[in-house]
Amino acid sequence: MSYDFTSLPDSMDEFWMPFTPQRYFKKNPRLVSRADGMFYYDKDGKEILDGLAGLWCVNAGHNNPVIKEAVKAQLDTLDFVSFFQYGNPTAFTAASRLIKEMPKPFTKVFFTNSGSEAIDTALKIAMNYHRLRGEGSRRILIGREKAYHGMNFGGISVGGIPPYHTHFGQTLPSVAHLRHTHDLEHNAFSRGEPTWGAHLADDLERLIQFHDPQNVAAVIVEPVGGAIGVLPPPKGYLKRLREICDKYGVLLIFDEVITGFGRLGHISAVNYFDVTPDIIAMAKGLTNAVVPMGAVFVKQGIYDAFMKGPEHVIELMHGYTYSGHPVSAAAVIGTLDAVHKGKIWENAKKMAKPLEDAVHSLKGKPRVIDIRNIGILACVQFEPDSKEDPARMAREASWELFRRGLVVRYSGPQLYICPPLILNENHIDRIVTSIGEILVEMDRGAGAPRKTG
Ligand SMILES: Cc1ncc(COP(=O)(O)O)c(C=O)c1O
């Protein structure tokens, strides 16, 4: 059998696409057929710069030969064996390799298939940890407004995105939310961590006291808010969260699905902010998105709390058919090798300042009311020009930018920039120049995208 996966599909009717307006998309499809390095290519071979690293995940760039080699080698030897009481060597090797690279206190890793599953796994571990230590009343989980923790029911419950609560119900009964840290009056156009806002962490103490510390299990935050707007933490904010958690025996969970694996120039945001949580969830860049995988890292003390009963009894009643899938594990190993071989995280550190300078040059462009950045992550926020459809400008800009050869993401009145970490200054210039041009053209009413939807 020979396959050609580059040609257009016969029909686009059947696939119900995720997080996409179906009818709008299918009238204006954006399909790519091939990818390499920093670029996608459409069916005619037109080059499209990937300014979003797939979806915040292709950190080592597309079509990386080292990762491909690892995955192919695994496919040629063992396609699958369950980890429910059997095992494959590749996942054990991937786990050891990861733990060697992670900040010291993290000694164990649990594998999942996605970020959403990693989040729900982290929440379950946290609640069970307290139960096993005789503090079973600790059931309350604290999240934060504007947080995205994936789409499983635990994640949307601690997540702080109102429509998910409206559409699906607030499914965990015992959750509370910290206030978010975005404040246009005090920290608009901050470069990196805003200097204003560390005191907002004190909201955690208020919530813990309100619910009674003996009832609170954990607080979960993205060290840098991602999907809802690239929100770097105010200077000192994460340290303050850590102090409050320590004071009340509450676990601190970092959702590093975006910040992990190089986005801030390190394997973990712990290295960047010098604040250590108790549990870390990762996914995305972990396998460079070649195949799906998520991971939950815990400190030894958390693991030990589970290891007290008889040895023949399952300690954590949790797992997924594909936890530790050999092909995903091979992709982890390949990704680590590729990152070291290409000095990719070093490049991320080097490019952070040029990216910061370039995106902040968009200040003063039409309707731009905030620009935020940290590591290889940035966001441009617009003043909405329509109350009924606040995302209009960002959406139309994103569609038009794709037509002109650039992928960036829009969400609400914001455009996100999150390129692969192999970027150079030319890529940055191309991304920022294209965005600047489209904003000016849209403001003049010229160059507005084709009528859509
Ligand atoms: C911070 C964060 N957590 C969790 C998730 C969920 O990951 P997944 O889509 O792999 O389930 C995402 C996805 O974008 C994310 O950005």
Domain boundaries, the chain: 22-63+343-444, 65-341
* CATH class of the 65-341 domain in this structure: alpha beta
In the predicted structure, residue 65 carries a pLDDT above the cut 50: yes
- Residue 193: partners with Cβ closer than 8 Å, 6 or more residues away: 232, 233, 234, 235, 374
CATH number of the structural domain 22-63+343-444: 3.90.1150.10
**Whole-prediction pTM:** 0.96
Residue 451 has a pLDDT of: 44
Residue 163 has a pLDDT of: 86
In the predicted structure, residue 447 carries a pLDDT above the cut 50: no
Q: What are the C-alpha distances in Å from 380 to residues 153, 356, 408, 414, 437?
A: 30, 12, 11, 6, 14
In the predicted structure, residue 165 carries a pLDDT above the cut 90: no
Distance 166 CA to ligand 1 centre (A): 19
Residue 75 token pair? 């496919």
Burial 89-123 (b: 16+ CB within 10 A, else e): ebbeebbebbeeebbebbebbbbbbbbbbbbbbbb
- Residue 383: partners with Cβ closer than 8 Å, 6 or more residues away: 367, 369, 413
Residue 436 has a pLDDT of: 97
In the predicted structure, residue 269 carries a pLDDT above the cut 80: yes
In this structure, how many other beta carbons lie within 10 angstroms of the beta carbon of residue 137?
13
Distance 15 CA to ligand 1 centre (A): 21
- Residue 352: partners with Cβ closer than 8 Å, 6 or more residues away: 265, 373, 374, 375, 376
Query: Does ligand 1 come within 6 angstroms of the Cβ of 225?
Result: no
Asked if residue 386 lies in contact with residue 202, where contact means CB atoms within 8 angstroms, the answer is: no
Query: Does ligand 1 come within 6 angstroms of the Cβ of 377?
Result: no
How much is the mean pLDDT over the chain?
A: 95
Q: Which of 113, 257, 258, 409 has most ligand 1 atoms within 8 Å of its beta carbon, as the pocket-test mutant?
A: 257
Residue 8 token pair? 């257009």
- Per-residue pLDDT tens over the stretch 80-111: 999 999 999 999 999 999 999 999 999 999 99
Residue 170 has a pLDDT of: 64
Q: Which of 123, 258, 259, 416 has most ligand 1 atoms within 8 Å of its beta carbon, as the pocket-test mutant?
A: 258
